[in-house]
Structure 1
């Protein structure tokens, strides 16, 4: 019955989804014939397809299964192939071979990538790049335009532009998308380039296996042969007992940069604020360029929602996009999660997506966000951060040590609450809305050139959002 369901499911989804989405994500899945009580088992060829389908299509697949079987039917997504033992996410990480086959001791011979437990030897398994994460699919705006420009420069001139490129910012702001875009662009220009994307925890697992399997020489030759190393979430390198991994990364970093090979690193915080890393490594992060991705501004949040809805084939009215974007400000994942909730609510109740439907679907979420950050909380947090009294922040004093924090607090009030400029002015001692507008523009311009101010705003924003 599973195969009959999957045939019917493919026919339905092919009519519902754009051809590119259907062929890229749904066609890649395979179904296994399961027992009557086991439901439907689908298999994805790699972790990116697995994650993508779980996040965007699993709910629809479950609805189709319930419709086909006439009852709620379990539907599971696993990594691997129906003809093979399912592969866990951890098992899909790069594994260094114990035998040194295809690895030459000659410096001119090509170095093979570590073997991978996988169902296919696709380009994904060699690079770990998500082909959907490109510069064309990246929504850009003031929040990420500097990071995007630097990334494009690196992709066009790897090893000679900014090395390393260090990209930092909060969770869900698009850092991973950006570095995948660099890798895909480098390969577009030079298909023979040796590129590897790796999360720092996977890198740690590679080092551990290399020691366990006594194949460390091969591990070193592979990682030091790369033309482009993209390493994600470097902050986790400082967590736990990873001395060997930190030491190996330090030497790999030196080897690659000396050979003018490109390194791109992402992190959730400014380099000097990373805990657990030695100064010798942190200092090397400053060799190239450090750029921040900030939370997206209103226009960019609306554009992200519209593009996401278009990709998923969902009609999204402008007023609904504005409602979501106006109230949810922290990151892209939060925006996409809210959109999914609205779509699911509309489908469940058999209604078209509208402003009323969106408000009903997001009632709890909007209420939580609107009461989470208040003027009082922002003012107190900023005053404490700059070590001034709250009364001084709200006073008429114009000395620099008071005026600048006041402008910062006004800027954060505009960015982190849905309040109007006049309302913000009232909260800051009855000031005119033009004063608030001037403060917001001043801080927005200054943070582009003042690294310390930009860092302060990043810390304050993270603190306020908890």
Structure 2
């Protein structure tokens, strides 16, 4: 027995469960976030692996882990364990003064030793699955703007009129734009009105895992009872069904069963239905049979509102001029905005300084340096030229065929969106064109993006490529 561990320390095989979960999380989560939030956690796993208690240093971190990571940690634990796992968060005991400096291992042993005793939990019955919803993600704290207004309106309609219009609701958009927040909000709204409703939020990868396990264990009756009896199924990232024939077959069956009983299905993806690769046509047609809505990258005003609201939620005041500075420099998605805000708040608290533009510039200097180095007009021109298979020289030329003029306009649009260059500066870099030409291109592409799903998807790809 390792010194410092309690007598009922879990078995080596059971303890390995948490280590394997950490390895998977390290592959999914950016290194800095992983080292800040996940690596310091100590976990205690009951012998049969059905329950895991995680020690968190303070209540702020506990709330953050619960809101941001608990659902994913649970899904990974269950996937690794092969059966339901109950995840609990507990405050780690305060350290007591000591004359000797404890080692990191000793501190962890003390944390594990003082976690509450855990007993094997009853496995959830197939007929009453846990919703897996994050109660912190609601319509009330989702900032609305033109980028998500239609998706939010459709989601609220679904939450209030289950099984009627917009079934299925298919929400698509790039990483970190709020798709997951929206589907959790639907489920939380429904449960607030109908506490007995059978609601399940699940990532597509977990559905794949459930299909595999049901075949391995010959428990398909339980699988069908679980999924076919729901009132609301919320499933994230259906693009992960690609090339998984058996999973697609079972999801099609569940889809048909749920529609037949007037249950509702809400799906998210990184692309619109017809853009999904290696998904059966009949499944794509089902995805496209309800309402398909996009969530766009947030516009400037929406980014400002998000920063101010999220700062207020952290009991901090974000001056409007600082919010505008950050919003102008962090353009891609809500997740990056949140990351920038956390850096600013931490820098402010550690240095005991009020939040200002100068402080924000210091806190974000690494991010701003990388951004300025990676995204320049020349880089945009080369990336767009490669994407549309034209010569970079065509970006500066006077040629006007559609095969060249169109990519040139897209490059101008991206230059305006992703850099701090003015319209005249952009025009100069595109062969000495007038700023009105650039303005026309920006307005034209921005307008078409709202209507043309293919163009919208191409822009998403280009933006993600440029941002690395």
TM-score by length of 1: 0.74
User: Root-mean-square deviation (CA), in Å?
Assistant: 3.7
- Secondary structure (helix, strand or coil) at the match of 1:127 reads coil
Question: Please, which runs of 5 or more residues in structure 1 have no aligned partner?
Answer: 1-30, 33-39, 88-93, 98-110, 115-125
Say yes or no: does 1:332 pair with 2:346. Answer: no
- Secondary structure (helix, strand or coil) at the match of 2:293 reads strand
Residue 120 of structure 1: aligned partner: none
From 29, 39, 51, the equivalent of 2:65 is: 51
- In structure 1, distance between residues paired with 2:432 and 2:267: 45
Matches within 5 A, 1:279-428: 279-428=281-430
Deviations 1:92-120, CA, capped at 9 Å, x for gaps: xx9665xxxxxxxxxxxxx8224xxxxxx
- In structure 1, distance between residues paired with 2:91 and 2:198: 39
1:244 is displaced (CA, Å) by 3.3
1:55 is displaced (CA, Å) by 7.7
1:48 is displaced (CA, Å) by 9.3
1:210 is displaced (CA, Å) by 3.3
Residue 182 of structure 1: aligned partner: 186
1:68 is displaced (CA, Å) by 8.4
Q: Which moved more, 1:391-400 or 1:318-327?
A: 391-400
1:448 is displaced (CA, Å) by 1.6
Question: Please, which runs of 5 or more residues in structure 2 have no aligned partner?
Answer: 1-42, 45-53, 71-89
Does the aligned pair in 2 maintain the 1:44–1:81 contact within 8 Å? Answer: no
Does the aligned pair in 1 maintain the 2:426–2:435 contact within 8 Å? Answer: yes
- Secondary structure (helix, strand or coil) at the match of 2:268 reads strand
Distance change >3 Å, CA 54–CA 233, structure 1 → 2: closer
Does the aligned pair in 1 maintain the 2:168–2:291 contact within 8 Å? Answer: yes
Distance change >3 Å, CA 43–CA 275, structure 1 → 2: farther
Does the aligned pair in 1 maintain the 2:128–2:198 contact within 8 Å? Answer: no
1:217 is displaced (CA, Å) by 0.9
Deviations 1:175-218, CA, capped at 9 Å, x for gaps: 10011111222334444432211112222333344344443212
- Secondary structure (helix, strand or coil) at the match of 1:409 reads helix
TM-score by length of 2: 0.74
From 169, 178, 181, the equivalent of 1:165 is: 169
Residue 113 of structure 1: aligned partner: 128
- Secondary structure (helix, strand or coil) at the match of 2:171 reads strand
Residue 101 of structure 1: aligned partner: none
Say yes or no: does 1:128 pair with 2:142. Answer: no
Q: Which moved more, 1:242-251 or 1:327-336?
A: 242-251
Residue 83 of structure 1: aligned partner: 117
- In structure 2, distance between residues paired with 1:212 and 1:85: 27
The number of residue pairs the alignment matches comes to: 393
Distance change >3 Å, CA 373–CA 51, structure 1 → 2: same
Deviations 1:340-374, CA, capped at 9 Å, x for gaps: 11221222223222222221221111100111111
- In structure 2, distance between residues paired with 1:384 and 1:230: 37
Matches within 5 A, 1:230-245: 230-238=234-242, 242-245=244-247
